[in-house]
Structures are given as C-alpha cells and as structure tokens.
Amino acid sequence: MISNFEEAYNTNDRAQRETLMNVVVVGGGPTGVELAGAIAEMKKYALPYDYPTMDWTQMEVYLVEMSPRLLNGMSDASGEKSLEFLKRLGVKVRLNCAVGDYDGEVVKLADDETIRTQTLIWAAGIRANPVPGLPEAVFGSGGRIQTNGYHQVEGLDGVYVLGDLALTPDENFKEGHPQVAQVAIQQASNCAYNFKSLLKNRPFKSFLYKDLGTMATIGRKKAVVDLPFFSFQGFFAWLAWLFVHLMAIVGVKNRLFIFLNWAWSYLSFDASLRLLIRPVLPKFEAEEVQERMVEDPKAKVDEKV
C-alpha cells in the first residue's frame, strides 16, 4: 500500500492515481471490518502527515460483503453499529454484493459496478488446502475435514484434526464451529484430556464449544462486543477490547511496554513516518546493469541496484 501511495505521489495521471490510492476490502466479518476501519483512520490521521501535498479526498476505502449485513457471527445490534461506525469514517460499504472478478487493477462486482484499485484485501474467509491421502468422503464445506465429537476422522484410526481445518458440527453449530482462536484452544485442551484418558482407559469426553464472546474494533473509541448474555458498543466496548487483548500478552513487562506504546500512539495519532526510499538509477547505469544481467543472469550487482 505504501509503495502504491508513493507511486501515486509521483504520477500526474488522475486515473492511475485513483487506481493506486483506492483500497478494497472483501469480507464483512471481524477481520474485514477492523481492516477497513484501520485503513480509513490511516487515511484521515496518518497519511496526510506523510504526504502533505496529496489530495487524500481522492482515496476511497471500500468494504464489500456478500450478505445483507456486517458481522454475521455477531448480534444484529453489533452489525448495525459497525456499519454506522464505518460510514462515519468514510468507508463505502457495499452489502448484498459479491466480487465477480479482479484483474489486478479493476474489481468487478456482481451488480456490474467496477472499482479501480491495485490493493484488494481478501478477508472473506479461507478454504483449507487438501491433505493428500485422505478419502474424498471426509472433506466437507470449504475443504474442511469432518470429525466426530472426539476430533477423530471417521474411519481413520489415530487421525485427529483440530482448529480451522476441523469440521465438527453439533446442535449449536450445524455448519461447523467458527474459525477463530478460541475454538482451536478449546479443542486442543479437550483432545489433550482425551489422550490422557486413553492412557488411563477412561472414556473420552465429547467436545462442547463454550462461546466466551466476540469483539471487533472499528477504530479509535469504536468497537462492538458480544458476550454470552449481553452486547454493547462504542467507547466502553473499545476499552474492553483493549483490556482483553492486553491481558492476553504474556508477562507483566511486555504488557507494560505494549500499554505505553498504545498510549503513545493514541495521544500522538501515530506520527511515525511510513516512507519507502527507492532511488532511481541514471539511465546509462540502468542500461549497463540490464546488459550485465542479460549476459549473466546470476551475476551479482551492487546493493544500490
């Protein structure tokens, strides 16, 4: 992105500048919402300091979501509030809209709308890589491997699957559990218990996911939090997000340094420069280097090249 911004800084072609500056995020889940909000805040607070002569009103941040709402795995209130926060930041949200094609410069949406950009960020989910040697019958939606409640692949003795790759439906998650860290952590704990039970000839314990809640931050003082019994949004949700993520850091010293870093970034609006310096070789030197590389592709060239 920064490389594109620097190229946009040096071009006089308005259409090319638009293509270099625009950013499209695909996927309206927590990852997509957080990315779109962060980039919109960079556009508003950080980038104008790095490139003070550029017109940042030419840059647009788009969030494209195929379903009719954002944050499908969270409450309706959180989805609506996140949409409100993003629009307040200037993000152009496209709901009920899928990406049809992308050629590296133009995104074609299913409704025939086109967006010029060289920066497309995919946050619409993942598909598992196939595991060679497993029968086709064990693969489910998204390439995930179907397991029973004990994390075992049916019909394959001694084969266990955990985390994003596992498809373990139960009465509460008929399409499988969400591909988030808490699922993998709890599955690993349950699987370890079952391995110990195997050694002691005790019965296995079936996996039951305990949803501890979901949260997403959409920028400074803007977040949404869904807990098992209630949800809340706004400034206090943002503080809760900060606290939970800070407590997840190992070590008091690390927490202190990260807290101070966050506090400084909050107060200073992250004023550090984001610049890439790429000196251009004079034409005669560039031609000489090109000739040398043609003659001997493995030839070493100076670091400045």
pLDDT tens, position by position, 97-127: 999 999 999 999 988 899 999 999 999 878 8
Task: Based on the fold, state whether residues 107 and 169 are members of the same structural domain.
Answer: no
Task: Based on the fold, state whether residues 1 and 120 are members of the same structural domain.
Answer: yes
| Cα 60 from Cα 86, distance rounded (Å) | 12
- Residue 229 has a pLDDT of 85
Q: What pLDDT band is residue 161 in, cutting at 50, 70 and 90? A: very high
CB half-sphere exposure, 62, CA atoms < 13 A:
28
Task: Based on the fold, state whether residues 166 and 106 are members of the same structural domain.
Answer: no
- The token pair at 134 is 């497993």
What's the total number of domains in the chain?
2
Task: Based on the fold, state whether residues 86 and 184 are members of the same structural domain.
Answer: no
Task: Based on the fold, state whether residues 55 and 157 are members of the same structural domain.
Answer: no
Backbone angles phi, psi at 231, to 5 degrees: -135, 155
| The dihedral formed by the CA atoms of 41, 44, 49 and 51, expressed in degrees to the nearest 10 | 110
Task: Based on the fold, state whether residues 168 and 72 are members of the same structural domain.
Answer: no
How much of the chain exceeds pLDDT 90, in percent?
51
> Chain-wide mean pLDDT for the chain?
87
Strand residue runs (E) in 179-302 = 214-219, 222-226, 231-233
Q: What pLDDT band is residue 86 in, cutting at 50, 70 and 90? A: very high
pLDDT tens, position by position, 241-257: 889 888 888 888 898 98
User: Which structural domain range is residue 40 located in?
Assistant: 1-125
Residue for token pair 């280097």: 289
Clarify whether 291 is annotated catalytic: no
The yes-or-no verdict on residue 286 having pLDDT over 60 is no
Q: In the listed set 82, 100, 125, which residue is the last one of a domain according to the structure?
A: 125
Which residue among the candidates 34, 41, 60, 65 is catalytic per the annotation? 34
Task: Based on the fold, state whether residues 195 and 173 are members of the same structural domain.
Answer: yes
| Cα 170 from Cα 161, distance rounded (Å) | 16
- Residue 305 has a pLDDT of 44
In sequence order, the β-bridge partners of residue 122 are 26
Other Cβ atoms closer than 10 A to 244:
13
| Cα 62 from Cα 265, distance rounded (Å) | 25
**pTM exceeds 0.85:** no
- What is the DSSP-derived secondary structure letter of residue 233? E
* Segment holding 289, helix H or strand E: helix 283-295
Position 257 in a domain: no
Q: Which residues have C-beta within 8 Å of that of residue 274, sequence separation ≥ 6? A: 2, 46, 47, 50
| Cα 26 from Cα 35, distance rounded (Å) | 10
Q: Residue 92 belongs to a domain with what CATH number?
A: 3.50.50.60
